[in-house]
Amino acid sequence: MTHGMVSAPQPEAVETGLDILNSGGNVVDAAIGAAMVQTVVDPQNCGIAGFGSLHLYLADRDVHTCIDFHGRAPLATKPEMWEPLILGECEDGFGFMLSGQVNEIGYQSMTTPLSLKAFHEAMERFGTRSLAEVMGPAIEYCEEGFPVRPSLHGLWNRGPVNGRIAHIRRLTEDPAAAKIYAKADGSLYGVGEMVRNPDLGATYRRIAEQGIEDFYSGEIAHRMDEDIPAHGGLLTLADLAACETETVDPLRTDYRGYAVATNQPPGGGLMIVVMLNILENFDLAAMGHNSPDYIATVAEAMKIATVDKDNRMGDPRFFDIPFAELTSKDYARAMADRIKAGEKTHVPRMNSGTEESQETTHICVADTSGNCVTMTHSLGSSSGVVTDGLGFMYNNCMMVFDPRPGNTGSLAPGKARFTALSPTIVFKDDKPFFLVGSPGGTTITMGNLQAILNVIDFDMTAQEAVSAPRFMATSDTIEVTNRIFRATERELQSRGYPTHRHAVSHMMPHVHGIRIVDGKLDGGADPSNDGMAAEV
């Protein structure tokens, strides 16, 4: 038995991870086994045809690394192909609306599917079991079914938001998807009703028997290749053959004596580094948690990092990121001085009034020996496409590319779009102290940042850190949850800040984390969805 903890948005995934730890598996076995279950019970938030970022630290093997598996634009992509279709840009700068929603739903919206390859690689290099061995619970949920959770039901029934499509279209427009997620009368399954996906179970059984090569070059690959180009999609066998993960060293900074390690671009860890370096120049604890001074200061750091993201961060294979400047303490001090002088950073946007889709999921696993995994994986907001008989939905990460040629995030064949995925591990005295990550689109970095500040500056437990009222600033507007005091909001407005109050008490992202203090584990699961943190 491995004494450890799992935190995730789905109880089924948490239980699977705990079962693997309880039977002697290590944290990687538990994380990947749980992630496979997530692909079944949260099938529009993640899947084997998705993308993500895995950050692991194995104290007993002296390993600290990240596996990047961001999807890449198909080789048939042309930089200008969608420019005539532009209708608008999301308010937070993370996605565009196009005529016909071709980047959001359907066969053209897919980037290369790398999640399965990353899961296999993690198990081969760092697990104690094979991928096939830990796939059993996922197959069981496919064949025996799982009950629809309230948060999943809410996602399925989310209506159109400021130009984005109603989510039900992803579940019902494609006949192969509707066969899985809709009843005979066309309605979706309700809370507590069982969803079964025997086609996905058969696909998983085949992968367990034949290996992941079947997905990337064998029978499954050929079935994808027969379906996708026939429906106008860009993804082909050549793209599947080119699928490769990338192993990279974590990006590092220090914050108030703690070492912070996060992922490299095209993930969002560089934004975490920029914001922490700026905020180290302020006595946040003395300001008081979520006071007007605190929110204004942190929001300005968020806005500075957002402008840097929009203009100077991208896929390092295609864009020369000024790492030395962005990670330097001198740059951070200069930005902090701007904030102290009362300067407000402006976040340029093509237009306003739109929101991005924020579907993704996360898994945290840690044990008392100091081994830990934090991984964010996603389908974007899902393409709505299922190849008949295979059972899995494809990602729609083409949605977040910039359809305007010549920009940092513009379309290009083989390119990954910069994302906010930022699984992070904080170290104290060279030992893991806090691991954190979350789903939530471009809000991910902002939620992860606040959880880190809550733990370090305000000495919160993991559950307190992920549950505390949050705010976001990914545009000129400061967004607050309904638990931020109205008096605080009025004070921010009096200082010239536009604000937007959300009706919900807990807003995106859904932050999850585990803290390790004196060999003891305490975990946190964001209360805004159905997740949990538990240990064995």
CA distance 92 to 366: 33
CA distance 252 to 259: 7
- Comparing CA positions, the residue from 287, 295, 267 lying closest to residue 477 is 295
CB-based burial, 90-121: b 16+ in 10 Å, e otherwise: bbbbbbbbbeebbbbbbbbbbbbbbbbbbbbb
SS3 string of 516-532? EECCEEEEEECCCCCCE
Q: In 35-183, where do the E strands start and end?
A: 51-58, 63-69, 86-89, 96-98, 146-147
Q: What is the DSSP letter of 149?
A: P
User: Which residues are known to be catalytic?
Assistant: 360
Position of tokens 């389908």?
A: 379
Give the gyration radius of the chain's Cα atoms.
22
If you count them, how many residues does the chain have? 536
Amino acid letter for position 470: R
Angle between helices 219-227 and 198-210 (to 10 degrees): 130
Q: For residues 315 and 418, is the Cβ–Cβ distance under 8 A?
A: yes
Q: For residues 306 and 473, is the Cβ–Cβ distance under 8 A?
A: yes
Coil, helix or strand at residue 196? coil
